[in-house]
Structure 1
Amino acid sequence: MQETRLDTARIRAARRVIDPVFLDSPLYRCEALEAALGCGVSIKLETANPVRSFKGRGTEVVTSLLADGGPRAVVCASAGNLGQALAWSGRGRGLDVTVVASRFAPAAKLDRIRALDARLELVDGDFDMARERAAAIARRDGVRLVEDSLDVETCEGAATIGLELVDASFDAVLIALGGGAMATGVGHVVKALVPGVEVICVQPLGAPAMTRSWRRRRVVTTASTDTVADGVAGRRPIPAVLDDLLLVADDAVLVREASIIAGVRLLFEHAGLVVEPSAALGVAAILEDRERFAGRHVVTIVCGGNVDLDAHRGWVTG
């Protein structure tokens, strides 16, 4: 495999600085879900931790480095989950954390950021506008800007998920694709240690920028996004992250909104899981191409559970 920005030795070392509460998340076969999807399905459950998403793995790595002598103040842009994770990790290490988010982000995510003692600034736009504002704050105040997916620590923290997968027996792993930290991180480990496993990234049709970029092998931006999966709704891929993705992803697919909502419903009905739409992308991919996965054993990473409960109620009963 050609080299990405990631390093397998550093990824192994990351496990030593990540709070164990984020490590060794459940991985199990879900027979009830298999019956509904027509293939072997294992769930890697990244919601069973204090921030209900995989993002805590990466923020633990970032803040551990800052606590060892870096800036004591940090700022990030977030669709909601990174902000919670950075607030949690920063609070534990005595860092001053500012999170910039869209005021249209799910209220449950914004409320949780506030509850974790971070300073929250809202913008009247989407995630990419929040990213611009966070960069401006960092320049103005001289604080550390944490950039999800661009900062290799966020990718290598997410990559520890891959270390927990490689001893299992499966044919493919389905990974939600947004900024790319989880896809490049897990993809790097899988391709380095079990190269025969297919790495499939999944993105909403309404937020296709990274998938289009992967297909064309160059950065493709979009003017807007329109998806219920707010956690992966970016418009402008980061070139360095795309370069990594091109080396580790075997495929990148787009799925419809109806399939994402059906995935949320199936995970609730057959696995008893309350998940945000981004976490259901893997299930949506199976629903849209049952023939591709028939007779195979796939792992889907359930990456987040920070969801508006009223919206979730509508999805599972609608």
Structure 2
Amino acid sequence: MRLELARVLGARGQISREFVETPQYECEALGEVLGCRVVLKVETLNPVRSFKGRGTDTVLARLQERGTANAVVCASAGNLGQALAFGGRARGIGVTVVASAAANPLKIERMKAFGADVVLVEGEIEAALETAARIADETGAFLVEDSKDIGTCEGAATIGVELTELPGALDAVLVSLGAGAMASGVGFAVKSLREGTEIICVQPEQAPAMTLALRAGRPVEVGAPDTIADGVAGRYVIPEVLDDLSAVADDAVLVTEAGIVEAMRLLYRHAGLVVEPAAALGVASILESNGRFSGKTVATILCGSNVTPTDFAHWIHGTPPST
């Protein structure tokens, strides 16, 4: 286990106030529909509309402490890049983000608005990471690798710390799973402070790399992701993150694309919240759980809301999709 509780607790004081102490509350209307007590942890009410600012601020603060924070570069599908750009601008650190040319246009627009130099490449996120690594080698910029960089995990772990401060019982935390920073971080914090709470990771059936690796105990070759949940659509597994996650995850489940869309609808209708597909995975897992959570208290982290209005309207109301 690479994470340390003392560093996680220390990160709470390093992260900009916009990103911490986020709302967490029981949504009774949603719970009535789902048949369990549902606690929503809302990570979308901040300048970058996602939880990623916790991790990027932790990384940047630690770089500044070491005096090595002149410039940074990352590969991102959008949310990490936005958060790094926002934090870099606030701290006077130059930021380059490499993204796929097929990435969410809203996310690319916001990265640029926050002052990042955005480089677009053909291919998936792995192609973007190769380019980012090359830029780091050529320029000396620090390469921020989501999930592999322990700061991204320990920053995300502060979400788990806050969840453990909820009063009353907490039977399970449902965590969206992509590369693993949030899942391993939240899982570590919750298991450290509320050992009896289950940590259940949730991933799309059409982007199952980390889930299949958890089940097999090793990375498993999978095909290219094909999911609307672009924020968790990685194909490859980082071995160190798999080790961390294996130590804290009680289960990992896969959900359908239809389930993700229905979960987004329920969150909109019963909680009044706009979320991107990756943020709806926890609710989707309750929908498809065959009563597993009946009568229990479960928390789910709404990790982002960077979705274009056209796409959201298509998924929620059935209007024509964006082109």
Number of positions where the alignment pairs a residue of Structure 1 with one of Structure 2 = 315
Alignment correspondent of 2:94: 96
The match for 1:136 is: 134
Query: In the TM superposition, what are the counterparts of 1:1-318 in structure 2 within 5 Å?
Result: 4-68=1-65, 69-168=67-166, 169-318=169-318
Supply the RMSD in Å over aligned alpha carbons: 0.8
Contact 1:221 1:237 in 2 (8 A): no
8 Å Cα contact 2:42/2:301 also seen in 1: yes
Give CA-to-partner distance per residue, 1:68-92, whole Å, 9 cap, x none.
3114011000010000000000111
What residue ranges of structure 1 are gaps of 5+ in the alignment?
none
Percent identity over the alignment is: 58
Cα distance in 2 for partners of 1:39, 1:292 equals 10
- Aligned to 1:253, the other structure's residue is in SS state strand
**Which secondary structure state, in structure 1, belongs to the residue aligned with residue 175 of structure 2?**
strand
* Structure 2 Cα separation of the partners of residues 126 and 269 of structure 1: 33
Q: Which letter does structure 2 place at the counterpart of 1:143?
A: A
> Matches of 2:135 and 2:165 in 1, distance apart?
43
- In structure 2, distance between residues paired with 1:191 and 1:67: 30
State the distance in 2 between where 1:50 and 1:124 align.
28
Normalised to the residue count of structure 1, the TM-score between the two structures is 0.98
The one-letter amino acid of 2:157's match is A
TM-score (norm: length of structure 2) = 0.96
1:67 deviates by 2.5
In structure 2, list runs of 5 or more residues that go unmatched: 319-323
**In structure 2, distance between residues paired with 1:308 and 1:220:** 32
Alpha-carbon distance in structure 2 between the residues aligned to 1:284 and 1:123: 32
SS of corresponding position for 2:163: coil
Which portions of structure 1, spanning 4 or more consecutive aligned residues, are displaced by more than 3 angstroms?
none
CA distance in 1, matches of 2:63, 2:139: 16
Cα distance, 1:244 vs structure 2: 0.3
Shift of 1:290: 3.7
Secondary structure of the 2:292 match is helix
Aligned partners of 1:241, 1:31: CA distance in 2, in Å?
35
Post-superposition shift, 1:66? 2.2
2:60 and 2:69 in contact (8 A); partners too: no
CA deviation profile, 1:210-259 (whole Å, cap 9, x unmatched): 00000000012323010000000001110000000100000000000000
Find the residue that maps to 2:254 and give its secondary structure: strand
The answer to whether the 8 A contact 1:37-1:290 is kept is: no
Q: Flag the 1:19–1:71 CA change in 2: closer, same or farther, 3 A.
A: closer
Does the 8 Å CA contact 2:41/2:299 hold for their aligned counterparts? yes
Relative to structure 2, which stretch is displaced further, 57-66 or 47-56? 57-66
